[in-house]
């Protein structure tokens, strides 16, 4: 039998070789021998791209002073490879791409890619304390892409659901649930792709810093069935709170039926960034007492009598934690300060977590990594 | 309350607008107004790319006579947009990219992207009978990314598991399982990304053409923890049948413990393409009687006494279906014919499904769409 398997193994090698050959033959524009990129060496990082026939190659990176600008020029090195070397930015996850004669291109040497709508951007992960929970943990949960019916929106829709390590092996254990909402322009994959939510929860739970929890990441664009890359239906939804109503009346029951979720306010948290922070404010205003943990991120609200009434409703219904975060350079910084003042004036105990920076994923990862440690305790 | 929500809605709009602004500001190399691409009109398809400063733009597509060649030239149209128009190829899923001054670039207007290793390629889906099960069904299953321990490989590894529509709502139903293996160069996402496995199963099950089943797609590279994009460990594994042993001794028990799987040979199918077809041959040779349904794809085996002994072992242990497919232009076509002859000579009832074309995903989608209808019946 050994010999037979050896024969079939040689076929496997042929198959493997052919596949590699296909790859090698595929037109990469004469890329030839790969040029490692990005390459971190001590305090610098070097990016490289083989683009023989290009006249001008730039790199645009989120760590640059103007991340939306024209980027920095790359230079041809002695091996005819375009190169850009810069000081290593501080520990964080950055995105970048190359611009070859005016056209944005991904780094064919970098295996780390995130999706932002229909843009695919390479990631540079700079190791350090800030990013230690953004990499792979040893004990990892399950990430599910699943579909649920929303009769109120008239759509079968997709959501992403994370269950923690051990969920499968502890069939009697019940878990609290965090409803984690994305921002404008995002979709149900935003928190796992750009937000590293699965890695952050895996690491926090493995270290005993967060309670094992289920994380539900629905699509907050009420007319969209699923992420734009899926080529499924979209429709107009004009009713203002359509998504928030669906979240509370359809998504929560679906989760509490299909997962071993604890169906109590004290075991439900809601958090969201930007538009999802608005959804968090609306959901807790319209359905006080549903969520014990309330975490709007990078959002605020103008002070008004109605806001006061809303907050009194939340206070009366009771909650365990009101935690919200905003960056000092966020364009919503002033409105976040107003929410802080309104919470104080209305006597709602809360934490206002103030960070540097603006309306960016660096902050949302930081916030999740911070407030997740406070939930369900 | 209505007014407050209106205020918070205006903040949402701001957030949404800002996000759009970010997108608009981001350096796409002066892409400007989008040029629709690909655009199918009657019997033609047009591809467009805005690349003002490029000297030469080509398109490389899998439908071309030489899909690994230099591609076809695109032309600047009157609006300064590069354009390429060609007759619509026959119904199938094709891949393509642009080559801007020698550098491969994705189509920034096309939302359909598949991953092949570290290459991201745009998809062109030409509608027709051949592709009718490749799009989204109305009733869709769940796709899970989950991790399992493989003590024999010394790794915690990722697999993709599909459960059919209705799995959650029928908590007493038990399901048969298809173990679906990828080829050399692939990983655990290959069948869902390039193979459209979830869509194919969704459609077949919805139409009543296939039995509802669980589909397990592990990573067949024994030393790899997960898809190359995940940045996790790899190690050298020298033991020849390490993966196949792990599949039978570790993956099957994990699935039958954690899912409502029917733990019987008649409810287990194994299928794989190329290297995964080799794994299918090895697994059924080493563990006869474990799988009732055996479907190696685009692979074969040289005739030998040992192969005969192996097939006699499978015959003796019993099986429900031996179905294998190969394209007439496949580089393994002759070895597939030898497997056919060996099965016949050894008196194993089987189906040899012969298709046009070679060692390509067009065939593997077709095979899955065909043999999945025969399983567990």
Mean of pLDDT over chain A: 89
Would you call B16 and A102 a contact, using CB atoms and an 8 Å cutoff?
A: no
Structure tokens at A146: 């699943």
What is the reported pLDDT for A239? 86
Q: Chain B contacts of A339, Cβ < 8 Å? A: none
Instruction: Give the separation between CA B85 and CA B135, rounded to whole angstroms.
Output: 24
Shortest Cα–Cα distance, A265 to chain B (Å): 22
| Stretch A103-109: mean pLDDT | 86
| Stretch A52-66: mean pLDDT | 92
Nearest by CB to residue A138, choosing from B156, B169, B310, is B156
Answer yes or no: are the C-beta atoms of B15 and A300 closer than 8 Å: no
Taking alpha carbons only, the member of A311, A333, A216 closest to residue A269 is: A216
Q: Residue A152 pLDDT > 50, yes or no?
A: yes
Instruction: Give the separation between CA B59 and CA A91, rounded to whole angstroms.
Output: 39
Instruction: Give the separation between CA A172 and CA B129, rounded to whole angstroms.
Output: 46
Q: Which of A215-229, A354-368, B269-283 has the lowest mean pLDDT?
A: A215-229
What is the reported pLDDT for B280? 98
Q: Chain B contacts of A52, Cβ < 8 Å? A: 102
Shortest Cα–Cα distance, B62 to chain A (Å): 10
More confident residue, B227 or A9: B227
Residue A254: C-alpha distances to residues A157, A227, A298, A320 (Å): 12, 20, 28, 24
Q: Which of A2-6, A35-39, A211-215, A353-357 has the lowest mean pLDDT?
A: A2-6
Instruction: Give the separation between CA A190 and CA A115, rounded to whole angstroms.
Output: 8
| Stretch A48-62: mean pLDDT | 92
Q: Residue A244 pLDDT > 70, yes or no?
A: yes
What is the reported pLDDT for A298? 97
A298 → chain B, closest CA residue: B15
The share of chain A scoring above pLDDT 70, in percent, equals 90
The share of chain A scoring above pLDDT 90, in percent, equals 74
Shortest Cα–Cα distance, B152 to chain A (Å): 17
**Where along chain B do its domains lie?**
39-131, 142-374
Answer yes or no: are the C-beta atoms of B242 and B348 closer than 8 Å: no
What is the reported pLDDT for A33? 54
Q: Residue A109 pLDDT > 60, yes or no?
A: yes
Residues of B (26-65) whose Cβ lies below 8 Å from A: 26-31, 49, 51-56, 60
More confident residue, A119 or A174: A174
CATH code at B39-131: 2.60.40.10
- Pairs of residues, one from chain A and one from chain B, whose beta carbons lie less than 8 Å apart: 310
B167 → chain A, closest CA residue: A258
Structure tokens at B118: 């570290």
Nearest by CB to residue A12, choosing from B14, B140, B278, is B278
ipTM: 0.80
Residues of A (303-362) whose Cβ lies below 8 Å from B: 304, 306-307, 309-310, 331-332, 335, 359
Instruction: Give the separation between CA A96 and CA A71, rounded to whole angstroms.
Output: 10
- Each residue's pLDDT tens digit, B41-91: 999 999 999 988 889 999 999 999 888 788 999 999 988 899 999 999 999
Residues of B (193-222) whose Cβ lies below 8 Å from A: none
B126 touches chain A (CB under 8 A): no
**DSSP string computed for A186-237:** --TTHHHHTS-HHHHHHHHHHTTSS---EEEE----TTBSS-GGG---B---
Superfamily of domain A142-374: Alpha/Beta hydrolase fold, catalytic domain (3.40.50.1820)
Instruction: Give the separation between CA A37 and CA A99, rounded to whole angstroms.
Output: 15
Shortest Cα–Cα distance, A240 to chain B (Å): 8
Structure tokens at A279: 């959804």
Which stretches in chain B have pLDDT values below 50? 1-31
**What is the phi/psi pair of residue A69, to 5°?**
-85, -165
What is the reported pLDDT for B29? 37
B contact test, residue of A10, A55, A144, A147 with most B CBs within 10 A: A147
Instruction: Give the separation between CA A208 and CA A194, rounded to whole angstroms.
Output: 24
Is A39-128 assigned to CATH 2.60.40.10? yes
Q: Residue A221: pLDDT band by 50, 70, 90 thresholds?
A: very high
Residue B48: partners with Cβ closer than 8 Å, 6 or more residues away: B35, B36, B37, B39, B77, B81, B82, B83, B84, B109
């Amino acid at each position: 039998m050994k010999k037979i398997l050896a024969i079939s193994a040689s076929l496997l090698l042929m198959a493997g070789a052919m596949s590699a050959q296909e790859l090698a033959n595929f037109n990469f524009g004469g890329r030839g021998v790969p040029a490692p990129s990005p390459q971190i060496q001590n305090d610098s990082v070097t990016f490289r791209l083989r683009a023989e026939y290009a006249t001008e190659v730039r790199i645009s990176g989120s760590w640059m002073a103007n991340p939306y600008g024209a980027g920095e020029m790359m230079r041809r090195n002695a091996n005819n490879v375009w190169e850009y070397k810069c000081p290593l930015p501080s520990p964080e996850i950055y995105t970048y791409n190359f611009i070859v004669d005016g056209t944005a291109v991904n780094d064919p040497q970098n295996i780390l890619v995130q999706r932002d709508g229909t843009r695919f951007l390479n990631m540079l992960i700079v190791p350090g304390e800030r990013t230690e929970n953004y990499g792979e943990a040893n004990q990892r949960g399950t990430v599910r892409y699943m579909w649920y019916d929303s009769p109120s929106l008239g759509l079968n829709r997709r959501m992403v659901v994370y269950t923690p390590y051990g969920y499968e092996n502890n069939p009697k254990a019940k878990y609290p649930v965090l409803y984690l909402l994305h921002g404008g322009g995002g979709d149900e994959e935003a928190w796992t792709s750009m937000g590293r939510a699965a890695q952050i929860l895996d690491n926090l739970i493995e270290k005993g810093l967060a309670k094992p929890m289920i994380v539900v990441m629905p699509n907050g664009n009420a007319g969209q069935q699923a992420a734009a890359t899926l080529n499924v239906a979209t429709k107009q939804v004009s009713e203002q709170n359509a998504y928030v109503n669906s979240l509370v009346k359809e998504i929560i029951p679906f989760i509490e039926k299909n997962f071993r979720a604890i169906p109590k306010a004290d075991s439900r948290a809601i958090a969201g960034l930007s538009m999802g922070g608005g959804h968090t404010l609306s959901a807790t205003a319209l359905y006080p007492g549903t969520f014990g943990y309330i975490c709007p991120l990078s959002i605020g609200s103008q002070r008004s009598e109605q806001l006061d009434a809303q907050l009194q409703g939340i206070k009366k219904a009771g909650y365990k934690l009101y935690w919200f975060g905003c960056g000092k350079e966020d364009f919503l910084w002033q409105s976040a300060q107003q929410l802080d003042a309104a919470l104080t004036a209305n006597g709602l105990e809360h934490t206002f977590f103030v960070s540097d920076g603006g309306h960016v994923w660096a902050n949302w990862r930081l916030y999740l990594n911070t407030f997740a440690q406070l939930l369900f305790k």
